[in-house]
Structure formats: structure tokens, C-alpha cells
Amino acid sequence: MTQRPAQPIASTPDAVIESEQRVWPGRFPVDIVKFRNRRFDGVMSETRTWELWRRGQASALIPYDPVADVVVLIDQFRLPALAAGIGPVLVELPAGLCEAGENPVVTIQREMLEEMNLAANHIERIGGYLLTSGGADEFCHLYAGRVVAPPADADGIAGYGGEIAENEDIRVRVWPAAKAIEAAFAGEFTNVMTVVALFWLASKREVLRRTWSTP
């Protein structure tokens, strides 16, 4: 994964950027930004200082097989979850950060192949979401994709994947759609994009089973 250039923040009539200072130049840089924004009373604020983690655009997709009525999800160890004091192995969607100027659909097609060796033969946009509005600029484009689920064992495990060069260790698991949706509503998943996608699927599932069952 290459370093992604973070573009300067453009001022607007309601938000004036006074300065940006790069304080950590790593793969995902951190900037100190001084700015003023228009308050709800119409007056511009005093100068404010914010630490901003520059992660950029991302893409994620929920793979759904409408014939088998299953979703294909991944299990992955996440250090930030450990730091947050929760179980560090999360149930997630295939996802990844976009390369500079890359179409998010191209991003998720690449990530699906890398993480689960799976391709979607139809992709539908769900929406776009700012993941950590208080500290990072990461904006995730979320999609649903029609797939043919891979064979799985009695525990739903369909194999393993991940980019070797990035030391990824990913377990691919097939879930009955009803079971995954039930787990999401029960609060069993802590990855927000997984939950949003499953809530969306809960509202669209019967329609998709009719409209997606015939390619």
C-alpha cells in the first residue's frame, strides 16, 4: 500500500482554514489544522485547533448471494479494537482505502479479490459515510454486491485470504443472511460498516431475492 497524498483543505465562506501543519508524515499523516467556522448564531468562531488524521477515501461492500440467501463476511484482527478494550477479532466487510483518484468501485473489486478471492457480478451503491467525524477524514463508499457464495465447512469457514505483502490474515466466513442480520440487531458486531450494511440488507433482502436471483 502506497502513501496517499492528502490534499490541502479548501476554505469556504463558512469555514476558513488558517493553517495546516504536518506533524506526522507516515502512510496516514496527521495534521494540526487551525481554522474558524461560522457558528449557529451566524458569527465566525475564534481560531480553533484540531488534530486531523488524513486517511482519505475508502470503499466497502456486503457480498450477498440471493439464491443461497447468505452473506460472505471476513474475520480480522484489529489493533484499535484491542486498544478500545473490546474483542480484537472483528466481523467485517471486504474493504480498503482508495488509491489516489481511484474509482471506489474499482477499489472494492480489487479488495474483494485480495481478501476473499471473490467477485461481484452486480454492484449497487448503498451510501457514503464519514467514519470518525471527530478526528479523521476517512469517507467510506458502501456498496452491496451480488455474488455466488463459495463452499464452506460446517462452521461457515470458506477459506483464508489477505495481501501477503501487508501481513493480512483474513478468515472468510459464509453466514445465513437471517443469522447475520439478527446478530447485527442484537449488537454482536462492533464494526460500524458491517452493521450499517446488514441493516440495509434487512430492509432490502426480500426485494433482492426476487430481483437479483436471475442474472
Residues with a catalytic annotation lie at: 166
In DSSP terms, which residues pair with 70 in a beta bridge?
Answer: 65, 176
CA nearest to 111, candidates 137, 132, 93 = 93
Spell out the SS3 assignment of 179-208: HHHHHHHCCCCCCHHHHHHHHHHHHHHHHH
What's the full length of the chain, in residues? 215
Residue 191, all three cell numbers: 464494526
Which of 99, 96, 81 lies closest to 5, judged by CA?
99
Give ∠ CA 130-131-132 in degrees, rounded to 5. 105
CA dist., res. 110 & res. 5, Å (int): 20
C-alpha cell at 208: 433482492
SS3 of the chain: helix, strand, coil, percent, to 5: 25, 40, 40
To 5 degrees, how large is the angle CA 110–CA 199–CA 186?
115
